[in-house]
Amino acid sequence: MAKLYQDITEDLAEFIRAQPMFFVASAPLDASGHVNLSPKGLDSFRVLSPNRVAYCDLTGSGNETAAHLAENGRITFMFCSFEGPPRILRLFGKGKVVLPNMPEWDDYAANFQLYPGLRQIIVAEISRVQTSCGFGVPLMNYEGQRDAAIRWATAKGESGLAEYRATKNGASIDGLPAPLAE
């Protein structure tokens, strides 16, 4: 059954570190807008304090989370155990985008391996922490991380990535502007 916490306990932080994948969800304020839900991996998530988390966001086909955060800040993270005892953990909060040209970039970036294609770091203040049973989540065997995003970004190079972001990542699918580094 669901259990609420005031913050991310050390036990929950350990659970987060053990998961090779997490999901991030965001949505625009407009009820007709699209809810975004994205899987993430590559050891890109960090618990910075009991109520603050961050993850490295690589260049992708869209930039929905950044656009939604710029509009309203709402963000939810979900972690599922696919091995071992069943458990789901959700973190609810308010997030912001930290771009490479922002003063706080170096402080946040120091927590991560900086992969090719990294476009921004998403930072969130967590206001609700909730676990649930996870009884319906299947057992799966983890084989490893995919390297396709890293190979793609490396092949594009910095100028190719900047051009791609400028043409493909400047707005959400609903037309909300997404912040981009200059």
- What is the DSSP secondary structure assignment for residue 29, as one 8-state letter? S
Is the pLDDT at 28 greater than 80, yes or no? yes
* Whole-angstrom distance, CA of residue 169 vs CA of residue 57: 12
Which residues fall within 8 angstroms of residue 102, CB to CB, at 6 or more apart?
none
Instruction: Give the CATH class of 3-137+147-168.
Output: mainly beta
- Report how far residue 90's alpha carbon sits from residue 92's, in angstroms, rounded to the nearest whole number: 6
The pLDDT tens digits for 83-135 are 999 999 999 999 999 999 999 999 999 999 999 999 999 999 999 999 999 99
- The residue ranges of every structural domain in the chain are 3-137+147-168
pLDDT of residue 177: 97
Other Cβ atoms closer than 10 A to 22: 20
Express each pLDDT in 138-167 by its tens digit. 999 999 999 999 999 999 999 999 999 999
